[in-house]
Structure 1
Amino acid sequence: MSSAMGAMAWGMSKRVVSAMAMVVVVLAMAQSSEGQGGQSSWALLHQNVGIASMHTAVTYTGQVLFLDRTDIGPSLINLANGVCRDNQRDLSSQHDCSSHSLMFNPADNSVRPLLVQTDTWCSSGQFLPNGTLMQTGGYNDGVKRVRWITPCGSDGSCDWVESSTDLLQAGRWYASNQLLPDGRMFVLGGQYSPTYEFIPSNGMGLFNLPLLESKNYFDWYPFIHLLPDGTLYIFANRDSCILDYNSNTVVKTFPTIPGEPRNYPCAGSSVMLALESGGTSAPEVLICGGASIMAPGNITAQFPASQTCGRLRPLDTNPNWAMQDMPIRRNMGDMVMLPNSQILIINGAQNGAQGWDTAASNPALNPVIYDPNAWTFEVQPATYIPRMYHSTANLLTDGRVLVAGSNCHIQYTFVGEFPTELRVEAFQPAYTDPVHSSVKPQFVANPTAINYAAPFNVQVSIPSPAQGVIGLTITSSPFTTHSYSQGQRQVKLVVSAPVLLQSNVYGVTGNGPLNPNVAPSSWYMLHALHQGIPSYGIWVQVQ
């Protein structure tokens, strides 16, 4: 087909139907490649950003929000222009001129301090449809607080906004958030809070969740996944249920997952695997890692961490857990959805559990990448920086994974084992290796917004002739803390066959995700994929 004919035909969407292949469970251990050539690697981005980021989120402006607790005494970076925080309820420094939050720019690795007023220790959050981050709860004077930050560029015009009147109805320390299809925020759980609520509340009060009422412990930071039918899958400790939040009814419960407790303080992690075909595929939940039920109460024993992962299809008629072993046992690991729909499991320890000082040991320095289609793990090169309690990992648009934080101590402590970590790294998966430059796609024309179930066009350049389908995925930007990324989700979009428009430039028509149950309205990273290699991502607003 000529370039002119291709241009005329471009925009006529063709659905791509793939046959389901038989899945064979295999355990693969390799040392650095992802199976497509190239080498995974690490890069040190900043030697000292000034705070240990307990909570991390990537904004649609490209800046990365770092946030720590406020009641630990001074950090190693001061607020700008002589600004100080005066708070008589602070447990450490009532007059504090240092910053406990900042914006990190991965384009040039620069930092800009931010001012947060009340204590955000072990709080929760998620981005709203307009890209504003809503941040909820914390400790002491922050336990009922609601905070916002609307991202901005490098001009420094944005900072935290906090209301003294718009408050949570219950104190939330170690809670979890989920953006709902209608734009409301669902806030669940926390220490001594087996309830959920909505923001805005619209006059609705608190609702009890029996799953949390029955646990009492090992249920903090519960895992929440919005299912494509609009219900919520909720997991705590080793049990789970489906909640219809519209009727406030538990409509389904599930078998107990084998093995160890998975939530705080045992710190497994969870993702919902990428939804296929624009969100029409059956959802599947993956939960990996954890710690012995004995570990938090007996730190001298340093019990081995969990080595198991479980997969569950919650909307099946009679679902049950499919279990397999990881190559490296792990607690406090972070799970990051990569643009190619594989799962990076990174950070954490191989013994003990979450907690201060010597609660955990034997850092898990090697990440692993999990291929959910092949059911295989691949061990990646090790970092030299232990990332233990209070560490984070977040996907950047360019496909790297930003790794920050780690503080096993009540205050910043730079002596002894596992000191407070102020360095920032990037894990660079094998698909970022320049060896893939000849097949790596690049957007040359793209939308800034994608509408539900509606076609949109992109143009992608590829140095070598395209081979097969050029895929499109959208990936949310979660609020990451305590080994769980709140709101993390990915959708593989329905695409047409690529059409050659001109030399090395191809047109692809994609269809937006099916509806807001599949992808709540917000900003997402859009990636093109060719031969499994992702492009640099661009931000689009799904609406």
Structure 2
Amino acid sequence: MDALSLQCPSLLLLFFLSLIVQCALAQLPGMWEVLVPNAGIASMHTAVTRFNTVVLLDRTNIGPSRKMLLKGHCRTNQHDAVLKNDCYAHSALFDLQTNSIRPLMILTDTWCSSGQFLPNGTLLQTGGDSDGLKKIRKFEPCEPNGSCDWVELNHIELAEGRWYATNQILPDGSVIIVGGRATNTVEFYPPRKNGAVSFPFLSDMEDAQMDNLYPYVHLLPSGHLFIFANTKAVLYDHESNKVLRNYPPLDGGPRNYPSAGSSAMLALQRDYSTAEIVVCGGAQYGVFLEKTTDSPAHGTCGRIVATEPDPVWQMEDMPFTRIMGDMVMLPTGDVLIINGAQKGAQGFEMASNPCLYPVLYRQDQPAGLRFMTLNPGTVPRMYHSTANLLPDGRVLLAGSNPHIFYKFDAEFPTELRIEAFSPEYLSADRANIRPTMEEMPETVRYGETFDVFVSVSLPVVGIVEINLGSAPFATHSFSHGQRLVKLAVTSAVPDGNGRYKIGCTAPPNGMVAPPGYYMAFAVNQGVPSVARWIHLIA
């Protein structure tokens, strides 16, 4: 034993403890990788298209980004407080195959706006701040080598300004746009004759802290909407503009912006009559107003069966307190909770203690056993960060800019890196049970039966699931339009050479799965294939 060891046994103890901690962390499931070291913009809003590209979108009034528009393309706005003639990109298209970034042109401010894919695969984008308050924009995706770009609609606009609103596609393919700052109404796209419709529930939830912003909106298989704001939720009939039910309040304080919890509807399956909603995390009441960054966040999740006659919230404790976490529906039906912080509130420079640990929420496990802590990342993803499921089963992490403008000399700097997190189901020891989608139709109608052919290295044991995952619009800790639908399937029948035929039945109607493009995953023993895009139509 050397002299240093004799003199400093405490140093040796710390060294060995450090090794133990490092070994423990190395054994946690999940893998991280940096896909793009500098995307040029910090994506406040992110969406994955059916061409396996990703739309990245930030504010326009943020000043210089780190990516220029194409030569000769500039945005001129005399009301912009930072740049009257702006030649910097504030939106971009990320190609998942090549990891390349193509700048896109966005003209009006998209700060804290909302979005949703339409049935034809076009991304609808609504509202924002300043000159974008009533704007409607569209992005029609194209092949990665194409030239598609944003189109701002000049012939129509929103009936009311929408800042911090939520979009949800409906069973008929139209979109409802719910709320916004000082906007306690709903409206629709395509616009309806009555324009904006009063929705008093939001005004009932409004207080000085504004915890009714970005309300959590979920389309239930009944066709009605579960809408959550602050601590309360209602069942809303969007056709008659009536509140059909008031759910019991969720304990633990406000959960919506700026208190920054998150929410997801769990996978729809079997006869699709049951829908469960989970709401997790959030800041303590008053933290946003007090502007304190060291107040611990909530560590609780509430789970409710929204379709039961007399539902109650079942409370659970997460492994970590968390604000600004993103909840991502994985192809298996589990929910990944990722990003965010453990203290403070949502807002510019209002949070601290980043939560680097992803957590897996396993919906089918009994209460008390549902959470699994995963391998931590190293990049803090704070305010204005996003998480999106990719067709290969990974989760894309983008953004994080807790500052009014881009700022790189800060404790939590503006983040331009794009990462991917691979859940445990993509680990090397499961590669031989990962299925490959060999054949499936590109378009199916509601209730239609069809066959899917998959191949697997090892013989199939049990049922191979075919699950449809939507491509949501992720922003501010909530993914607009996110849902996972597990199809009714037959047992996998060997078709020779490691191939299997699986009989599937498409969802029965647009209440279970609104029309549009979905990622179709084959899931074998908890391991998903690379998805194929399928168009679900009436």
TM tier, shorter chain?
Answer: over 0.9
CA distance in 1 between partners of 2:455 and 2:141 (Å): 30
Q: Which SS does the other structure have where 1:112 is aligned? A: strand
Does residue 299 of structure 1 match 2:309?
no
Output the amino acid matched with 2:265: M
Name the residue aligned to 1:281. 273
| CA deviations over 1:53-91 (Å, ceiling 9, x no partner) | 000000000000000000011110001133111122222
Map 1:51-450; keep pairs closer than 5 Å.
Answer: 51-216=41-206, 217-277=210-270, 280-300=272-292, 302-357=294-349, 359-374=350-365, 375=367, 376-450=370-444
Shift, 1:33, TM fit: 7.1
CA distance in 2 between partners of 1:349 and 1:309 (Å): 16
Q: 1:69 to 1:142 in 2, by over 3 A?
A: same
Shift, 1:155, TM fit: 2.1
CA distance in 2 between partners of 1:227 and 1:32 (Å): 40
Sequence identity percentage: 49
Shift, 1:302, TM fit: 1.9
| CA deviations over 1:391-429 (Å, ceiling 9, x no partner) | 000000000000000001000000021010000100011
Output the amino acid matched with 2:422: Q
CA contact (8 A) 2:322 2:342 kept: yes
CA contact (8 A) 1:169 1:197 kept: yes
CA distance in 1 between partners of 2:245 and 2:380 (Å): 40
Q: Which SS does the other structure have where 1:141 is aligned? A: helix
Q: Which SS does the other structure have where 1:211 is aligned? A: helix
Q: Which SS does the other structure have where 2:425 is aligned? A: helix
Name the residue aligned to 1:465. 459
Q: Which SS does the other structure have where 2:288 is aligned? A: coil
CA contact (8 A) 1:295 1:302 kept: no
Output the amino acid matched with 1:365: L
Q: Which SS does the other structure have where 1:164 is aligned? A: coil
| CA deviations over 1:189-218 (Å, ceiling 9, x no partner) | 010001001111231222111210112220
CA distance in 2 between partners of 1:52 and 1:340 (Å): 29
- Between the two structures, name the one with larger relative contact order (CA 8 Å, sep ≥ 6): 1
Shift, 1:319, TM fit: 0.5
Q: 1:462 to 1:33 in 2, by over 3 A?
A: farther
TM-score (norm 2): 0.93
Output the amino acid matched with 2:364: N
Unaligned 5+ residue runs, structure 1? Answer: 1-29
Q: Which SS does the other structure have where 1:99 is aligned? A: coil
Output the amino acid matched with 1:330: R
| CA deviations over 1:146-169 (Å, ceiling 9, x no partner) | 000000112232000002231000
CA distance in 2 between partners of 1:91 and 1:191 (Å): 21
CA distance in 1 between partners of 2:205 and 2:506 (Å): 39
CA contact (8 A) 1:299 1:360 kept: no
Deviating more after overlay: 55-64 vs 160-169: 160-169
CA distance in 2 between partners of 1:301 and 1:444 (Å): 51
CA distance in 2 between partners of 1:300 and 1:147 (Å): 36
Shift, 1:186, TM fit: 0.2
Q: Which SS does the other structure have where 1:81 is aligned? A: coil
CA distance in 2 between partners of 1:541 and 1:479 (Å): 18
Q: Which SS does the other structure have where 1:79 is aligned? A: coil
Name the residue aligned to 1:519. 513
Unaligned 5+ residue runs, structure 2? Answer: 1-23
CA distance in 2 between partners of 1:507 and 1:301 (Å): 55
CA distance in 2 between partners of 1:180 and 1:33 (Å): 43
CA contact (8 A) 1:327 1:379 kept: yes
CA distance in 2 between partners of 1:208 and 1:31 (Å): 51
CA distance in 1 between partners of 2:27 and 2:500 (Å): 28
Name the residue aligned to 2:7. none
| CA deviations over 1:423-451 (Å, ceiling 9, x no partner) | 01000111111211111100111111122
Q: Which SS does the other structure have where 1:125 is aligned? A: strand
CA contact (8 A) 1:406 1:421 kept: yes
Name the residue aligned to 1:493. 487
CA contact (8 A) 1:475 1:491 kept: yes
CA contact (8 A) 2:443 2:534 kept: yes
CA distance in 1 between partners of 2:372 and 2:321 (Å): 14
CA distance in 2 between partners of 1:311 and 1:72 (Å): 38
CA distance in 2 between partners of 1:356 and 1:88 (Å): 25
| CA deviations over 1:512-542 (Å, ceiling 9, x no partner) | 0121000000000000011111111110011
TM-score (norm 1): 0.92
Selected match of 2:474 from 476, 480, 484: 480
Shift, 1:132, TM fit: 0.1
CA distance in 1 between partners of 2:205 and 2:120 (Å): 35
CA distance in 2 between partners of 1:50 and 1:477 (Å): 23
